[in-house]
């Protein structure tokens, strides 16, 4: 069977929220870079890295939730099992 492609739609409001969260994580990461450049205390650097990691993981969970709610539902309705399998693989890599 040929691979089906379902349409991809993301709410502009949700996309804006996700991009804002990503921008904040980038800002934190740039701060960590500056801390390393300035020879900041290693414990402080690790704490900031942990915050960046948590922010990215939280964003990932939001993207998973939105994808399941919208894209995967549409893929199943369209009979696009390849999209479901690809999403399962992506979740395994994310975790």
The burial class, CB within 10 Å (0-12 / 13-18 / 19+), for 66 is middle
| Residue 54, φ and ψ in degrees, nearest 5 | -65, -40
> Would 22 be classed as within a structural domain?
yes
- Contact between residue 63 and residue 90 where contact means Cβ atoms under 8 Å apart: no
pLDDT in tens, the chain (95 residues): 444 455 667 788 999 999 999 999 999 999 999 999 999 999 999 999 999 999 999 999 999 988 888 888 888 888 888 888 998 999 999 88
**Predicted local distance difference test score (pLDDT) of residue 70:** 81
Classify residue 5: in a domain, yes or no.
Answer: no
Let me know if residue 6 belongs to a domain: no
User: pTM for this one?
Assistant: 0.76
CATH number for the domain harbouring residue 46: 1.20.58.1000
* Tokens describing residue 87: 């999403």
In a domain, 67, yes or no: yes
Largest CA distance in the chain: 57
How many domains are contained in the chain?
A: 1
Residue 72 maps to a domain: yes
Q: What is the DSSP string of 18-42?
A: HHHHHHHHHHHHHHHHHHHHTT--H
Whether residue 27 is contained in a domain is answered as yes
Round to whole Å and give the CA distance between 41 and 66.
38
Domain containing 55 equals 12-94
């Amino acid at each position: 069977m040929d691979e089906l492609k379902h349409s991809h739609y993301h709410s502009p409001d949700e996309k804006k929220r996700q991009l804002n969260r990503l921008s904040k994580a980038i800002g934190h990461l740039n701060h960590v870079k500056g801390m390393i450049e300035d020879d900041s205390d290693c414990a402080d650097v690790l704490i900031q890295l942990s915050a960046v990691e948590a922010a990215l993981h939280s964003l990932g969970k939001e993207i998973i939730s939105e994808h399941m709610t919208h894209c995967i539902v549409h893929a199943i309705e369209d009979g696009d099992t390849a999209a479901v399998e690809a999403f399962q693989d992506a979740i395994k890599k994310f975790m």
